[in-house]
Amino acid sequence: MFSSHTRRSHCLTAGIIALTLTLVIFAGCLQNGAEPRPAVSPTQATTPLVPIRAQYVPGEIARLGAAAEQQANTSFNTIAALSPEKRTFDNTVVAFDTAMTDYTDSIYPMTLMGYVYPDPQVAADGMALEESSAVFLNDIYTRRGLYNALKGQTPRTAGESRLYNLTLRDFEKNGLKLPDERLAKVRQMNDELSGLESRFSANLNNDNTTLVFTGAELVGVPAASLSSFEKTPQGTYRVTTKYPDYVAVMKYAGPGTTRKAMYMAYNNRQAGENTALLEQAITLRQSLATELGYPTWADFKTNGRMAGNSASVMAFLSTIKEPLKEKSRAENAELLVLKKDLEPAATTLDPWDVSYLQEKLTLRKYAYDENEVKEYFPVDNTVQGVFRVYGELFGIRFEEVRDAPVWSPDVRLYRVTNLTGGATVGYLYLDLYPREGKYGHFATFPVISGRMKDGAWSVPATIIVGNFPAPQENKPGHLTMYDVETIFHEGGHAMHYLLTTVPYGTWSGFNTEWDFVETPSQTLEEWVWDPQVLTSLSGHYTNSSQKMPPELRDRVIAARDAGAGHYYSRIMANSLEDMEYHTAQGPVNVTTVSARVYAEMEIPQADGIHQPASFEHIMGGYDAGYYGYLWSKVYALEIADTFKQDGMTNQTTGMRFRQEILSQGNMQDGGVLLENFLGKAPGPEAFYKRLGIANVSGTGNKP
């Protein structure tokens, strides 16, 4: 499952994040104690025509990053130097939020370049800044003089109390209650951990694993995919392990040997170095947790989240583990029957068979070919369709900023405005096609935070980074239904970021509890499967007015849950794998643990692979947090059920979702926001219904 990638100082609990993991906007007033943001007109707001710089030369990012750090240090030192009698809430706590957000607004656009910039030297500069900025933030949150200046201030409102409590909690989770010697040790370990995580991500970004196949070895792969592969002088095809190439081979290549070769290459990316980096990080995290007074790293990370501790996470996962295994087991049996039909001598289901056979089975059971369906979802038209859906739901408009400076010709920039009043509420970059050296999956990254600054609203900006099939010879890239769902998912993260009305940058947007952060994104996935919405999104690439025929649309929707057992069992396996790593004591063989957990979930996995080496989530902010995809799914389906009662495109409900969930950032606990919106405490019933299993949790209103 492609996620909203995160990048942040690892000991922070919710602020200063850069999502993965993951389309747009803001409105309304804060509720339940947070101060309402003043109405902002276009002239009041900070609305640059181009939100960030897009071009750099080698060495420039390092200089600019150093200048940003120097400016931030000046601000932080000013706060720490205030004598007690001169300290106020505004010149300490609010000033800290301002200085911190000024710093991240300066560096996020440059660290982003580490994931997207075509020049490898500039990209390396961006990754180096990400690593050095993590070290700098670790230092900030372990400065005792700064902590003492913030501590003891008196908030004047409920919103200020929230800001105060969360800010101090971040300092304290970085060791500010420890004596100086142990605090210095925590700082040193944090710095080392930042380096391990950054190198892990950089290795995957720079991975250029390719395989060479003959035409015969790629028989069954659609012509559109074949034409996107690099052709060698010998007439063979050079195929990368990037998302579009990998999926095309695994779903359509007839020869099992071809799929096996691709599977093994994909699951061994950076196997040597990244396996070692992950195991070092896990051991270091154990030591950090011990220094900070927690029994495990998972308990440290879940403190302050909805789950609260690792025991609650494991209890939640255990309630759905066996039902998911049953679904996966039944699907395996069905796929093996099909394999025996195709290969009478077959006795086992191999891991490289699953996607291929699932595609064959879907064609047999639901009588449609995914390649036929894809023709109704060219990338640009589908994105515009998503914009229309979000525009109707949330009262916004997307306008492309023409001729905006960008780092690659295929990047697009959109200005998002309110339909009422026309105020600019955010900027959205789309970088949707693969490039060498670019981040290889799907993610939404923060760029500029929405917040109040100098009496005006600072307009947020974010980017969706993806790897959809690129246009070929004047023919647009086409999207699978999974791809369309991915746009809605990442768009949900972007909406969460851009719709914020929180005045404080460190807690605006998707700077929320980590097991709540996937709730908006997974909620908005549900729109794809509404018949009216799906029809409106569709349009044949040769004639956009030609919608998907209703009978085909209905078969596509009916097939939605084909393979759901495998899909959710993989999320479960990754969640269990993550939690086992981060509740362990002592060295961990991550490859052995991964193989065992996948076997327990009855997911085929081959010997000789190193899946953890490319499990980027747990080295990018989701460590002891991958369970959040399942945890948030519970809430997402509850929210979607509320929409279904009034219609998925009902703007009244959409605006309420915007105001009560999307705009709120972390100014209320996720559980409070959910109960306000739902009118009741959320429960697991919609989740179990969605999976077709009985409610076996016994957990009442908690996942």
The CA distance from 97 to 14, in Å, is 13
Q: How many CB atoms lie within 10 A of CB 41?
A: 14
What integer pLDDT is reported at residue 498 of this predicted model? 98
* Confidence tier at 48 by pLDDT (50, 70, 90): low
Tokens of residue 634, six digits? 């519970």
The CA distance from 255 to 215, in Å, is 11
* Confidence tier at 527 by pLDDT (50, 70, 90): very high
* Catalytic annotation, residues: 490
Q: Convert the pLDDT of each residue in 77-103 to its tens digit.
A: 999 999 999 999 999 999 999 999 999
H/E segment holding residue 444: strand 443-448
Question: Residue 458 gets which letter from DSSP?
Answer: E
* Confidence tier at 224 by pLDDT (50, 70, 90): confident
Give the residue-averaged pLDDT of 451-473.
Answer: 94
Q: Convert the pLDDT of each residue in 308-318 to its tens digit.
A: 999 999 999 99
Q: Convert the pLDDT of each residue in 362-416 to its tens digit.
A: 999 999 889 999 999 999 999 999 999 999 999 999 999 998 999 999 999 999 9
**In the predicted model, is pLDDT for residue 75 greater than 50?**
yes
In 77-221 the beta strands, taken as DSSP E runs, fall at 210-213
Answer for the pair 482, 562: CB distance below 8 angstroms, yes or no: no
Give the residue-averaged pLDDT of 555-574.
Answer: 93
Bridge partners (DSSP) listed for residue 448: 461
What integer pLDDT is reported at residue 245 of this predicted model? 94
Q: What is the C-alpha radius of gyration for the chain, rounded to an integer number of angstroms?
A: 24
Dmax (CA) for the chain in angstroms is 84
**In the predicted model, is pLDDT for residue 213 greater than 90?**
yes
Residue matched to tokens 């697991």: 684
Q: How many CB atoms lie within 10 A of CB 85?
A: 5
Q: How many CB atoms lie within 10 A of CB 418?
A: 18
The DSSP code sequence of 348-405 is S--GGGHHHHHHHHHHHHH---HHHHHTT-BHHHHHHHHHHHHHHHHTEEEEE-TT--
**In the predicted model, is pLDDT for residue 175 greater than 70?**
yes
**In the predicted model, is pLDDT for residue 45 greater than 90?**
no
The CA distance from 460 to 262, in Å, is 40
The DSSP code sequence of 48-100 is -SS-S-----TTHHHHHHHHHHHHHHHHHHHHHHS-GGG--TIIIIIHHHHHH
Answer for the pair 19, 309: CB distance below 8 angstroms, yes or no: no
* Confidence tier at 690 by pLDDT (50, 70, 90): confident
The CA distance from 441 to 2, in Å, is 6
* Confidence tier at 32 by pLDDT (50, 70, 90): very low
Tell me the three state secondary structure of residue 644: helix
Give the residue-averaged pLDDT of 582-604.
Answer: 95
The CA distance from 650 to 679, in Å, is 18
Residue matched to tokens 């005006």: 456
| 0.75 exceeded by pTM | yes
* Confidence tier at 460 by pLDDT (50, 70, 90): very high
Q: Convert the pLDDT of each residue in 487-506 to its tens digit.
A: 999 999 999 999 999 999 99
Q: Which one is predicted more confidently, 368 or 15?
A: 368
**In the predicted model, is pLDDT for residue 418 greater than 80?**
yes
Residue matched to tokens 């142990």: 182
The pLDDT > 70 percentage for the chain reads: 92
Answer for the pair 110, 126: CB distance below 8 angstroms, yes or no: yes
Answer for the pair 284, 654: CB distance below 8 angstroms, yes or no: no
